[in-house]
Amino acid sequence: MTTITITLENPIYNLGRNAEYGTISVDLNRLPQNALVYLFDYGLRQVLNDSIATKEDKDGNKLDVAAKARAKLDALYNGSIRTRGEAIASDPYEVEAFKEMKRHLTTLLTKQGHMRDIPKGTKNRFEYAVVRMLSKSGKPEMTEREYLLYHLANTKIGQVIKAQAIAAVDLRRELAAEEADGDDTLFAPIDAEDGDDDETK
């Protein structure tokens, strides 16, 4: 038996697309145990089934749908799932590491030709290239965050990039602190006469 404790604000959900039928507020404190169990079970089952909605790649080849479901479950286990409206990363160290890892992987994808022939107007070219590459090789699809997180956690270059990200963020913070404690005259306009030598006056 598993006991789960989470902290949530009472949610407000749209009814219909773009709240066509208004909104509804849910008082979570009023939900009994059996309702919470139902919602958790239903939601988890739905997430896993959503992950296998696409059963063929763009060329019509069948995908390993069970592997896609396992990959989604692994993403849930390691907390790398991306929710609607969630940024790729919020922690300063993560932001730096994700930025550098994306730069590194984009270079590799470009060299291997995966960044070619991407439809015009594609919002996330990187994620499109990753999903297409994985689908063609019969591997489970990943979001941009999942792909970056995987490489940060499971590759040697990922370990290096994480260490460099920590050092870079810490250095910027130190420099910002030094500037904040510095002499305000550094930022004051320089009087042209101040640069004259005493001997010339």
- Domain residue extents for the chain: 8-50, 64-182
Nearest to 146 by CA among 67, 74, 48: 74
Q: Which amino acid, residue 48?
A: L
**pLDDT (0 to 100) of residue 69:** 87
- Calculate the alpha carbon distances from 188 to 58, 179, 183, 184 in Å: 61, 14, 10, 7
Contact 129, 144 (CB under 8 A): no
CB pairs under 8 A, 24+ apart, for 57-63?
Answer: 57/135, 57/136, 57/138, 58/132, 58/135, 58/136, 59/136, 61/136, 61/138, 63/135, 63/138, 63/140
Q: What is the pLDDT along the chain (201 residues), one digit of tens a residue?
A: 788 888 877 887 777 765 677 788 889 999 999 999 999 999 899 888 888 877 776 667 788 888 888 988 888 888 766 554 445 555 688 888 889 999 999 999 999 999 999 988 888 899 999 999 998 888 888 888 889 988 988 999 999 999 999 899 889 888 887 776 665 555 555 554 544 555 444
Q: CA nearest 99: which of 154, 39, 162?
A: 162
Identify whether the C-beta of residue 171 lies closer than 8 Å to the C-beta of residue 177. Answer: no
User: pLDDT tens digit string along 53-80?
Assistant: 777 766 677 888 888 889 888 888 887 6
Cβ partners under 8 Å of residue 164, min gap 6: 100
pLDDT at site 84: 47
